[in-house]
Amino acid sequence: MQDNTILIIGSTGKTGARVHRLLEQKGYKTRGVSRSTTPSFDWTDPGSWHACLAGVTSAYVTFQPDLAVPEAENTVREFVAEAKAAGLKHLVLLSGRGEDGAVKAERVVQQSGLDWNIVRASWFAQNFSEGFMLDGILSGEMVLPESDTREPFIDVDDIAEVAVAALTKPQLRNRLFEVTGPRAITFKECIDAIAAASGRTIQYKPVPVESYINQLKAHGLPEDIQWLMRELFTVVFDGRNTPVVNGVEEALGRPATDFNEYVKKTLQTGVWDATAQVINAY
């Protein structure tokens, strides 16, 4: 059992939950926090930060809603100052590829005087199974902004393993790991792969970005999320992130997981079984 407690901010999220689980499996003491935990952690409430930071020396940090939002840089700066005052020594930040706001937040961490790591990730493969695109997969019609941009979608399990390596291996400190999948593919190719593996018909329906945002608005999504989705699909998803990089191999000594492997293991969970989802709703 390791003596130092590792803080996981966003421990109920896609990466945070996995980081938390992997650390516990390896025998590390952990403190997973989010808005729903006790103590709770809320990025919009700096008063909630102190109790979460007390007595920890390392932290895995995910920012909500996204480091791309304009206020992220200042919020991260305030958090880093409080973390240093509380005795934090090492911070691992999850960041997003191709986001100007994220680069500003990364720089705050890198210049903080703390030991640091940045895990800068491409789009998550798990958005198709645990995120905002799951409903489209289950309904058989995936409506997305029109784009033929290729993206090297990354398996979130890979991100979690890289983060845990950064947290637990001193020789990896003070390094940025840019992580992607091993090949770049389009949204349509992703959906076709899921359809073929699941034996279902899933139509890809591309629409203009503004039509997509208007649909989000009609469904009651907050304005900050509407802004973020427009930013992601019009700026971040412009082809700048198409090149594949080898951050997973640099950190773990193995290749990144291919999208088809992600599909294969996700299929076994039953999450894309539309019939089962309907039955479970009753």
The CATH T-level fold of domain 5-185+238-280 is Rossmann fold (3.40.50)
The gap from C-alpha 66 to its chain's centroid, in whole angstroms, comes to 9
- Average the pLDDT over 102-110 and give the result: 97
In this structure, are residues 59 and 83 in contact, taking their beta carbons and an 8 Å threshold?
yes
- Average the pLDDT over 123-144 and give the result: 94
pLDDT tens readout for residues 186-207: 999 999 999 999 999 999 999 9
In this structure, are residues 91 and 8 in contact, taking their beta carbons and an 8 Å threshold?
no
User: What's the sign of the alpha-carbon dihedral 7, 247, 255, 173?
Assistant: negative
Q: pLDDT band for position 274 (50/70/90)?
A: confident
Q: Which helix (H) or strand (E) holds 29?
A: strand 29-33
- Average the pLDDT over 273-281 and give the result: 56
Please say if the pLDDT value at position 3 is more than 70: no
Running DSSP on this structure, what letter comes out for residue 171?
A: G
Look at residue 281 in the predicted model and tell me its pLDDT. 39
Give the 3-state DSSP-derived string for 152-175, with helices as H, strands as E and coil as C. CCECHHHHHHHHHHHHHCHHHCCE
Look at residue 143 in the predicted model and tell me its pLDDT. 94
Q: How far apart are CA 118 and CA 102, in angstroms?
A: 10
Q: Is this prediction's pTM over 0.85?
A: yes
Break the chain into its structural domains and give their ranges: 5-185+238-280
In this structure, are residues 262 and 173 in contact, taking their beta carbons and an 8 Å threshold?
no
Please say if the pLDDT value at position 114 is more than 60: yes
Q: Which helix (H) or strand (E) holds 33?
A: strand 29-33
Look at residue 279 in the predicted model and tell me its pLDDT. 37
* More confident: 229 or 110: 110
Please say if the pLDDT value at position 235 is more than 90: no
Look at residue 222 in the predicted model and tell me its pLDDT. 87
Look at residue 96 in the predicted model and tell me its pLDDT. 96
Q: Which of 6, 66, 75 lies closest to 222, judged by CA? A: 66
pLDDT tens readout for residues 152-197: 999 999 999 999 999 999 999 999 999 999 999 999 999 999 999 9
pLDDT tens readout for residues 244-272: 999 999 999 999 999 999 999 999 999 99
Please say if the pLDDT value at position 277 is more than 60: no
Q: pLDDT band for position 276 (50/70/90)?
A: low
pLDDT tens readout for residues 17-28: 999 999 999 999
- Average the pLDDT over 48-64 and give the result: 97
